[in-house]
Structure 1
Amino acid sequence: MNVNDKKSFYLYTLIVCSIIILINFISYNRPARIDLTDNQIFTLSNSTISILEKIEDNLIVSIYFSDDLPSVLSNNSRFIQDILEEYQAHSNGNFQFEFKNPDSDENAKIDAQSLGIQPVQVNVWENDRRETRLIYLGIGLSYQGKSEAMPVVQNTTGFEYDLTKKIKKLIDTDLKSIGIAKFSKSKHTNQGINQLLSESYNIKDITMSSEVPSDIGVLIVNGISDSLTTDELKYLKSFIDGGGNILIGQSRVDVELNQQMGFFQGVNVQSNIFSLINDYGVNIEENLLLDKQNGKINIPQQVSIFQTWASHDYPFFPTINSFSNDESIVSGLEKIQFHFCSEIVIDSLAVNIKPIMFTSRNSGTMSGYYNLYPNTESAQNPILNNLNEGIKLLGVLIDTMQGGQIILLSESKFFADPDQNLSRVFAQRQPDNYTFIENSIDYLMGDAELVALRSREVLDRPLIELDDASRSWWKWFNIIVSPLLIILLGFFRLRSQKKRSEELQSQYG
């Protein structure tokens, strides 16, 4: 190699190394990746980046993980480290994190316990035997003297949302509360909703016989089965007129278990709450919605001396997977389960209302006398087989024109705790039911940044429902066309082999 060749080689090597170093420097400070997942779950959302830019002081994240983790949880640990590095890169230096092992560091153990992070018991298989271990899987956050914790992080589903939610709660200086309206004739409890929302917001029970406190950002109203008192109606309307936001579930039919009948009985609700709702251009019809796309009801039956449970399709439990594409509160939802809901009709002159969820085309209504029995082998309910009234509406977003909004669903018990005596009877709520509630609260509280995050994880991919004609067409297509395609393939393959055999024979005699 002559001198010129050596100089060229060294110069080329220097240039290549410089480019590699420059690329690494840029990628470290401005991380980028190609995310091919459906909802971009491995890439920080714009919502998270927006919240990170609002951090004005050092936010410290301590990851309390044991070292000797099972293989599945070790993968989670690597994922968490990767995504925390992205948080750090987008925080202008205000986001810092560190891993601590409470098993070997006594100070880390004390810190974890002060945050409410305790070891959890997991079962692992090692050397062909099952072992039980106590391990730490928690995360603590501290900011300007305040702290939050994620006591257990066993999987990465929704991790970005959970972490960003904690960060937002720490850095928010004007955090309003959520009120659960309590009326004189309230009969529903809301412990489940209270627990669900208390991780992000302060929850208060609000007695509606007096004025709603000014620190309430959203008022949750359970289904009302009787008229409100004069004071209750006045203070509810005053809250709305003052720009307050309402999340309300209200059916026009009250369905309860009738002990004498041994089954459910429906009675039309007579209440002045409907006049208030009508003032905003919405009417809840005196009926129950039915849908061919539905959940199950479990009915006890006696077999000899034993009692068993039989599961039946129950059109009074519509499963909703048709949502408005334009509204963020239902964006990304897969399906929601309703129980005993009514039809919503929008006034033709109303311009302040947006539909957000619908039944399938195979739906119907029942009014007047409510025969709520399901179809069984021994007893048929004819109206359940005649669901051809088309798409119905059961959820709307209302602009009150007073600076506030109302989200209305046509089921009275959507936010209420389930009756424990009926837990085996009713269809289970879908995970997206709770996602929708959180989305609605965030939206009404002005936290639209969180709404975009929550629905990124894919929970379900239901098959598209086909009508009977389409199903029959595809059935005969598979029966007739599929074998024909195989026969044609075999025919062409036979001809190809025969042609090749003739060519070989002609070449080699």
Structure 2
Amino acid sequence: MGNSTRYRATIHLVLITAILVVLNLVSSNAFFRLDLTSSGAYSLSPLTRETLARAEDPLRVRIFYTDRVPPPYNGVRQYLLDLLREYETLGGRSFSYEVVDVSSPEGRAAAREYGLEQVEIQEVRSDEFQSRAVFLGAVVLYGSALEKVDHISRSDGLEYLLTSAMERAISRVDALAGLTEPVKMRALLSADLERYRIQGLEDLPRQLEDIFHRINRDSYDRLTYELSRPRDDQGRLEVQFIQGDRLQTVPLQVYAELFGGYSLDDPQDIEESLRWGLRSLVAANPRVGYSVGFGERDLQDHRQGAGALTLLLENRYDLVPLDLSEGEIPPDIDTLVVNGPREEFSRQALYRLDQFVMRGGRLMVFLDRHYQQMPSQQEMLFGAQPQWVEIETGLEKVLAHYGLELTSGFVLDEESFVASAQGGRQKIYQAPVLRGDSLNRDSVITRALEDVIVLNAQEIGVPRADDALAGRRVTPLLQSSPRSWTVDDPSLAGPGIQGVPPGETPDRRVLAALLEGEIPSFFQAPPEDLVSGEDLVSGEDLVSGEDQEPGAGAFPERFRGSSGSGGAVLLVSSSELTTAQLLDPQNRTPNGTFVLNALDYLKDQPGRAELRSKGLTVPRLHIASPVLPGMIRWFNLLVVPALVVLLGLVVRSRRRARSRALEAFFSDEEVSS
């Protein structure tokens, strides 16, 4: 009896061991993951599937991510590899990835050749913090195109970064292959450059020709080359890429030597600059209009202007400056950004903007009612203080007629940014921090965002009743907390504020809103056209061309009295959101994600916004009753330990009963034997 029992136990042990070995071998060669999240946070998005389906040539990803890195980088590395396995499963033979060993000299040299940079990280070794240089990047290769994804330090948004890089690479190759005329690469080297004795200048023509042949080979022979030595144009040292009416200029850098003289860039750096210039020319980025000419924030100003916005959008959209006082909006522009104007718009400009919306154009407006005018240094010496200046651009009336009223109420909020100050921490009440229900959870623009910061914003008045705007709907996107209030004078928002003043009724204030639907035109007629010399009639007295009787001075056909169902206007009540103070060009903050999501939505690409927002936030518990947290706390303190003790007593009782049964069984065998 005893030998038979041991034999069966041995057989069971061998079978279980064999099953475990087989399962381990299968699992090591097969990848499977089940996504149980309601939002599909761990499944590839439809946009990723579409991008992989577009690839006609092999699409490769090379991973340059240092192995055996400390947390959290080791988790990010594993997530990156798991994600690429899903790409490989979906892409089939057209997709592959490779993990490069960056601990070898060859791997590090390849990473540097692709332009990847090492990152300094801190880790604990031998009970002390030590610094270590590691690679945290990847490159996407498709045809002749190369896209870098560097400094991968977080898992959230990683699918968006990879898919966007793949999409850019595919679009650039498709753009090159689809060119109807070649791209001219023209090198301009002024004849007077020789007198400056620039080191390496004599070899530059040969180097540029060699670079041209390499770039042309990688660009499907779509380039031509020309060397020009203008005599009348002094000091020209640049390379131009020309395709049709488009021009991209790449200046060649000249550096002053320490002991006199000048030198050129390294040939490898020159080639990299020229490749980026060509990429910028043939990039298939969608075009977005940017209003200029009325005091808007400057796209090249990286301090007080919209330079941060330019950098944020450079890989996704091409911003096209448009002066509405000089001409119509081009027909290929379907989205227009108006950012922080400080001057009054002309009637012609307002009309062009209005008719742009009436034609189904999408409008994104960052509008201020006040701006802070700083005194000069000399005035500051005499104690002059910054002054708040009220702004009237004319856009306020147009937007109010549409259904979005930008009030003069300057929003202050107790849920605001806290800055370090002398002797403690100071709340900046004019900088609300928006989280939770302050962000619209039903809109793809703001659904996954948290901790969005706005500054110097005004309240947007929106209709409360659903039927207040016929054929239109207003969706609040950003709102302040229930502990916010407004002041009419921004100068009252000083450090002396200590919360909601007595007599004020705090409430949520709308800071950004989206208007969609059939938007009525603000105008009755084009300015200075058929209504010669008469003032334009505002929307309150609107009479469209369809309401005119024949022969009564009917408006021209190009005038539209309504946008139809495709109009959309997104209003943000502060242009500070587009400055470097609140906007990170690398999109490492929710503010950048909000701007990108908003533009994607207006460009009718909500899928891109969904992909970008994937995994940004962790779902939070919503407490239905204030009593519930206390009940859960006491349940964990009392009931759970009691259940554990009860379970232990049951297990102990069953073990004792089994022990007594075994003793009785063997006692009976001994008696019978």
Tell me the TM-score range normalised by the shorter chain.
Answer: 0.7 to 0.9
Structure 1 residue 327: Cα displacement: 1.2
- Give 1:406's aligned residue: 569
Tell me, in whole angstroms, the C-alpha distance in 1 between the residues paired with 2:423 and 2:325: 44
- Structure 1 residues 291 and 58 mapped into 2: Cα distance closer, same or farther (>3 Å)? same
Aligned to 2:610: 452
Counterpart amino acid of residue 268 in structure 1 = E
Change in 2 beyond 3 A, CA 1:228/1:32: same
Partner-residue secondary structure (3-state), 2:288: strand
Verify: 1:317 aligned to 2:434, yes or no. no
Query: Paired residue for 2:290, among 180, 186, 198?
Result: 180
Matched, 1:55 2:55: yes
The match for 2:90 is 90
Asked whether the equivalents of residues 479 and 511 of structure 2 are also in contact (C-alpha less than 8 Å), the reply is: yes
- From 320, 334, 349, the equivalent of 2:469 is 349
Equivalent residue number for residue 191 of structure 1: 307
Aligned residue among 274, 277, 290 for 2:399: 277
Q: Is the 8 A contact 1:253 1:287 kept in 2?
A: no
Q: Which amino acid aligns with 1:198?
A: E
How is 1:130-145 mapped onto 2 (pairs within 5 angstroms)?
131-145=130-144
- Unaligned runs of 5+ residues in structure 1 are 1-8, 300-307, 421-428, 494-509
Report the residue type matching 1:417 in the other structure: A
Cα pair 2:295 2:340 within 8 Å, conserved: no
Q: 1:64 to 1:319 in 2, by over 3 A?
A: closer
Q: TM-score, normalised by structure 1?
A: 0.73
What amino acid maps onto 1:356 in structure 2?
L
Does the 8 Å CA contact 2:417/2:428 hold for their aligned counterparts? yes
Partner of 2:197: none
Residue 247 of structure 1 aligns with which residue? Answer: 364
Change (3 A) 1:261 1:46: farther
For residue 171 of structure 1, report the CA deviation from its aligned partner: 3.2
- 2:509 counterpart residue number: 392
Counterpart of 2:198 in structure 1 is none
Matched, 1:337 2:336: no
Tell me, yes or no, if the aligned pair for 2:576 and 2:582 is still in contact at 8 Å. Answer: no
Cα drift, residue 409 of structure 1: 1.0
CA deviation string 1:147-196 (max 9, x = no partner): 21112223323211211221232334653123433224235511212222
* Maintained 8 Å contact 2:156/2:616: no
Does the aligned pair in 2 maintain the 1:222–1:249 contact within 8 Å? yes
Separation in 1 of the partners of 2:357 and 2:60? Answer: 40
Give the 3 Å change call, closer, same or farther, for CA 241–416 of structure 1 in structure 2.
farther
| Deviation string, structure 1 residues 224-261 (Cα, Å, up to 9, x no partner) | 22212345434433543443322221132334456577
1:41-80 CA-partner distances (Å, limit 9, x unpaired): 4443344334333433321111123456456544433321
Are 1:218 and 2:335 an aligned pair? yes
- Whether contact under 8 Å (2:474, 2:513) holds in the other structure is yes
Alignment deviations for residues 349-378 of structure 1 (CA, whole Å, 9 cap, x no partner)? 2524222222222322222685222336xx
Q: Relative to structure 1, is the Cα distance of residues 153 and 361 closer, same or farther in structure 2, using a 3 angstrom cutoff?
A: closer
The residue number in structure 1 matching 2:147 is 148
CA distance in 1, matches of 2:445, 2:402: 20
Contact 1:336–1:433 (CA under 8 A) maintained in structure 2: yes
* Post-superposition CA distance 1:182-223 (Å, at most 9, x none): 224235511212222223333444444444445545332212
**1:315 alignment partner AA:** Y
| Matched-pair contact (CA < 8 Å) for 1:315–1:384 | no
- SS of the residue corresponding to residue 53 of structure 1 reads helix
Alignment root-mean-square deviation, CA:
4.5
Q: Which amino acid aligns with 1:333?
A: L
What code does the residue aligned with 1:151 have?
Answer: D
What is the match of residue 289 of structure 1?
Answer: 411
Query: What SS is found at the alignment partner of 2:590?
Result: helix
Q: CA deviation at 1:131?
A: 4.9
Q: Which amino acid aligns with 2:431?
A: F
**Alpha-carbon offset, residue 462 of structure 1:** 9.1
Question: Which letter does structure 2 place at the counterpart of 1:337?
Answer: I
The equivalent residue for 1:304 is: none
**CA–CA distance in 2 between the matches of 1:111 and 1:250?**
47
Structure 1 match to 2:524:
none
Q: Distance in 2 between matches of 1:270 and 1:298?
A: 35
Residue matched to 2:485: 364
**Amino acid of the structure 1 residue aligned with 2:615:** E
Task: Assess, with a 3 A threshold, how the Cα gap between structure 1 residues 319 and 102 changes in structure 2: closer, same or farther.
Answer: closer
Q: Which amino acid aligns with 2:478?
A: M
Describe the shift of the 1:362–1:138 C-alpha distance in structure 2 as closer, same or farther (beyond 3 A).
closer
> What one-letter code is carried by the residue in structure 2 that aligns with 1:318?
P
Query: How far is the alpha carbon of 1:84 from its aligned partner?
Result: 0.3
Tell me, yes or no, if the aligned pair for 1:223 and 1:250 is still in contact at 8 Å: yes
Deviations along 1:274-310, whole A, 9 cap, x unmatched? Answer: 12212322211122122232223666xxxxxxxx365
In structure 2, C-alpha distance between the alignment counterparts of 1:94 and 1:333, rounded to whole Å: 34
Aligned 8 A contact 2:345 2:394 in 1? yes
Q: Which has the higher contact order (CA 8 A, sep 6+)?
A: 1
Amino acid at match of 1:197: L
Segment of structure 1 superposing worse, 407-416 or 392-401: 392-401
Read off the aligned partner of 1:139 and give its amino acid letter.
A
Deviates more, 1:180-189 or 1:271-280: 180-189
Hey, what's the Cα distance between the residues in 1 that align with 2:127 and 2:138? Answer: 31
Q: Could you tell me how far apart the structure 1 residues matched to 2:413 and 2:352 are?
A: 37
Match of 1:416 in 2: 579
Deviations 1:100-126 (A, max 9, x none): 2355363x5555334321333344443
**What is the SS of the residue equivalent to 2:139?**
strand
Rounded to whole Å, the distance in 2 between the matches of 1:73 and 1:419 is 27
**Change in CA separation of 1:248 and 1:331 when aligned onto 2, cut-off 3 Å:** same
